[in-house]
Amino acid sequence: MQFLALFFLGILQGLTEFLPVSSSGHLVLFSKLFGIKESLFVSILLHGATLCSIIVCFAKDIWQMIRHPFSKQTISLALATLPTCVLALIFLPFVKKSFSGSLLPVCFALSAAILFLGEVLSKNKQIKLNNKTAISMGIAQGFAIFPGLSRSGTTISAGLLAGGDKKSVAKFSFLMSIPIIFVSLFVEIFEIVSTKQPITLPVWGLVVSFLSAFLIGIFAIKIMIKITQKANLKWFSVYLIFISIVSLFVFF
């Protein structure tokens, strides 16, 4: 049963990571439904898998930033990462507790409101991404570390409200997740190893879960980023309200 549950969670992560619906929130919700207690560990593992997907799909952009560390895009990425790190350090003790699922209904509903306002209030703004937009998205990403608060949805909405066009904002949203996921993976893995937290999940289930998230992520990212760019974000708000109600019944 756990093997199939982990396989499903891998597929779920590969799809939801690239939509503005909070992949971590979905992992916490379905981990609860499947009786998997190590939801934080599973979230870390599967975010690592989709991080690999992003690296594969954006290898050219990443290589260009490595070759040109003072390029406009690299500087924008650094400016976005700084406020995220500061806010993440402030909220870190509360984030760990939030993986119990108690905040999911509120965070899903808040994501819905953010997406709706981002879509409604950003009409006719088509300015290319600049440092102001990058900083706004970095601040938004810092607040979106709680499960249920969509990282991509929050950052894209912040970018749109700051005046960016949907295409460049959507692409930058995925790129800016790379350093943050790297740092969070390192911190959480170090804590698990240093405190010797027991992992009771089957190894092969974890391997299959990781691979399914990685492979489906590669397939899905190019499709999902187009959907995110072109779709009206208000429709995702409707879904988030629905999943907020579902999580309310599951955790309360």
| pLDDT tens digit sequence for 102-129 | 899 999 999 999 999 988 887 655 667 8
Q: How many CA atoms lie within 13 A of 59 on its CB side?
A: 5
Residue 174 tokens read as 């995925």
d(CA 17, CA 152) in angstroms, rounded, equals 8
* Token couple for 153: 């949805």
Element (H, E) at 72: helix 72-98
* Segment 174-181 mean pLDDT: 91
Global confidence as pTM: 0.90
Query: How many other C-beta atoms can be found within 10 angstroms of the C-beta atom of residue 160?
Result: 25
Contact 20, 115 (CB under 8 A): yes
pLDDT in tens, 183-211: 888 877 777 777 766 777 888 889 999 99
Number of domains observed in the structure of the chain: 1
Residue pair 28/147 in contact (Cβ under 8 Å)? The answer is yes
Report which of 163, 206, 147 is spatially closest to residue 5, judged by C-alpha positions.
Answer: 206
Number of C-beta neighbours around residue 139 at 10 A: 20
Q: What's residue 25's pLDDT?
A: 94
Give the domain extent around 228: 2-97+105-251
Q: Looking at residue 178, what is its pLDDT?
A: 93
For residue 48, what are the contacts with CB-CB under 8 A and spacing of at least 6? 181, 185, 210
What does the mean pLDDT of the chain come to? 88
Tens of pLDDT along 15-54?
898 888 999 999 999 999 998 877 778 888 899 999 999 9
